[in-house]
Amino acid sequence: MNLPRSLSRRVALSLALVATLAAGSAAAEDLLQIYREAQKSDPQIAAARAFWEATQERVPQARSGLLPSVSATGAVNYNNYDFNVPSDNTLDFNRNYYQYSLTVSASQPLYRYQNVVLYDQAKQQVTQSDFTLVIAQQDLIIRTSVAYFDVLLAEFNVELAAQQKLAVAEQLAQAKRNFEVGTATITDTNEAQAKYDQIVATEIQALNDLDRRRTALRAIIGRFPTSLKRVGIGFDPQPPSPNSLDYWVDKAATGNMNYRFQQSNYEIAALEVERARAGHYPTLDLVASYNPQGSNGGVSSGIRSNSAQGLIGVQLNVPIYTGGFVNSRVREAISLQDKARQDLETAKRSAITNAQDGYSGVNSAVASVKANEQAVQSAEVALQSNKLGFEVGIRTNLDVLNVQQNVFSARRDLANAYFQYLLAVLRLKAAVGTLDEQDLADLNRRLNG
């Protein structure tokens, strides 16, 4: 198959760059492996899981307010009674005896509307915790991917600096040789030396940046990464699918996880208004108790006694006046519901904005990759032209060095454009609430293609 010349150059350029990015990564860890380790080691996701597990207990706790409660109390007392009148020996006596009592009581709510609403709130809170956990998982995907690509880009910058230093060193050596044979001035040597010294400083900065990026990834997975797999040669940036802004905005308006969290929060606030108003309502309980008690004597006699009392009935409690507490609680709950309504609207607008930004970000990143591919190609052509011009005497050594710098800068920008595209795809999925591990697995396959 014959490709157009411009497309052929672009394909060759892309393959050359990604081959550089992929060099030496055969036995390295890929993005999915790093993410799965982050799931086990990241303290933020561990805290989110612990909170989710804790929230699951809200339902049984609230349900207990609708179920019977039974309690028992008991007591055994030892009594010593010593009575003495010194002037009358007949009024001198001592008695020891035991007394015991047991009370078993039970109650079953028949009508407690506050408890019913509290149970509904608890179920809504459990649903809300699901959204919270998904948000934390999506955040982990983004944080891990950013840290992973930051390390790759930092490694690429180190390699570019090393390649650039080597190239400038060759130019410096050539300038020195030309000066020695009298075909160039000391200016060419000084300019090449200045460029070399600048590249050495750039290389040191790149190495320091790599250390920082690796440390950032360590904060997520709990260890320094050994070697990370790089972009595979099958990588080809694509626009969103479908490539329609309305599609992604509509999905975000209902599916964004922060929006769904705030939607659940509004439902909880609405139920809180009902629960506050229920403070005016009567309560009705079925109650029962059983109370046996006895003794083996008493103060006046040694006769044993035993008795038992049981009851069953209903207990009605009607609140008449609580000092205005219930009315105040209702007003407070209504205000908090209004706040939740505004938070929900804010979350919806933010979700739509994020979807628009994500959609534009992916398309912009695709265009950026293509533009940077062309920039690298142009820089390479310009470098070859300047080298030829230097050989025939119409370009200076400084011209070659400057254009050479442009080549390495263009390569760095292209690598960054690749990584920004990958992150833009993930952020768009997060904006509409669908980002999960499968998306990361699909992306990982593209990286390793």
Looking at residue 366, its pLDDT comes to: 94
- The Cβ of residue 49 has, within 10 Å, a number of other Cβ atoms equal to 14
Per the DSSP assignment, residues forming a β-bridge with 108 are 286
Looking at residue 19, its pLDDT comes to: 47
Q: Please tell me the distance from the alpha carbon of residue 225 to that of residue 44, in angstroms, as a whole number.
A: 19
Q: Please tell me the distance from the alpha carbon of residue 427 to that of residue 429, in angstroms, as a whole number.
A: 5
Q: Please tell me the distance from the alpha carbon of residue 127 to that of residue 124, in angstroms, as a whole number.
A: 5
DSSP one-letter code for 94? E
Per the DSSP assignment, residues forming a β-bridge with 317 are 283
Looking at residue 182, its pLDDT comes to: 73
Is 353 in contact with 292 (CB distance < 8 Å)? Answer: no
**What architecture does CATH give domain 5-69+112-280+323-447?**
Up-down Bundle (1.20)
Q: Please tell me the distance from the alpha carbon of residue 211 to that of residue 213, in angstroms, as a whole number.
A: 5
Between the CA of residue 312 and those of 68, 285, 289, 298, 339, what are the distances in Å? 14, 11, 7, 30, 46
Looking at residue 85, its pLDDT comes to: 61
Of 110, 79, 84, 111, nearest in space to 96 by CA:
79
Helix (H) or strand (E) holding 38: helix 31-41
Q: Tell me if residue 152 falls in helix, strand or coil.
A: helix
Of 437, 32, 90, 431, nearest in space to 257 by CA:
431
Q: Please tell me the distance from the alpha carbon of residue 434 to that of residue 138, in angstroms, as a whole number.
A: 9
Looking at residue 86, its pLDDT comes to: 66
Q: From the CA atom positions of the chain, what is the Rg in Å?
A: 39
Is 44 in contact with 262 (CB distance < 8 Å)? Answer: no
Could you give the angle at which helices 31-41 and 113-181 cross, rounded to 10 degrees? 130
Looking at residue 42, its pLDDT comes to: 95
- pTM of the prediction? 0.82
Please report where in the chains the tokens 């809200």 appear, as a residue.
58
Looking at residue 274, its pLDDT comes to: 96
Per the DSSP assignment, residues forming a β-bridge with 236 are none
Q: Enter the tokens of residue 391.
A: 């050989």
Looking at residue 81, its pLDDT comes to: 73
Looking at residue 6, its pLDDT comes to: 41
Sign of CA dihedral 236, 237, 243, 249: positive
Q: Please tell me the distance from the alpha carbon of residue 401 to that of residue 387, in angstroms, as a whole number.
A: 9
How would you label 14-48 residue by residue, b for 16+ Cβ within 10 Å and e otherwise?
Answer: beebbebbbeebeeebbbbebbebbbeebeebeeb
Q: What is the pLDDT along the chain (449 residues), one digit of tens a residue?
A: 343 444 344 434 444 444 445 444 556 889 999 999 999 999 999 999 999 999 999 999 999 999 999 999 999 988 877 766 666 666 666 678 888 999 999 999 999 999 999 999 999 999 999 999 999 999 999 999 999 999 998 998 898 888 888 877 877 787 787 777 776 678 877 877 887 888 889 899 999 999 999 999 999 999 998 888 887 655 688 899 999 999 999 999 999 999 999 999 999 999 999 999 999 999 999 999 999 998 887 766 667 888 899 999 999 999 999 999 999 999 999 999 999 999 999 999 999 999 999 999 999 999 999 998 888 888 888 888 887 886 777 776 666 777 777 888 888 888 889 889 999 999 999 999 999 999 999 888 877 65
For residue 184, report the phi and psi dihedrals to the nearest 5 degrees. Answer: -145, 160
Q: Please tell me the distance from the alpha carbon of residue 51 to that of residue 216, in angstroms, as a whole number.
A: 25
Q: Tell me if residue 439 falls in helix, strand or coil.
A: helix
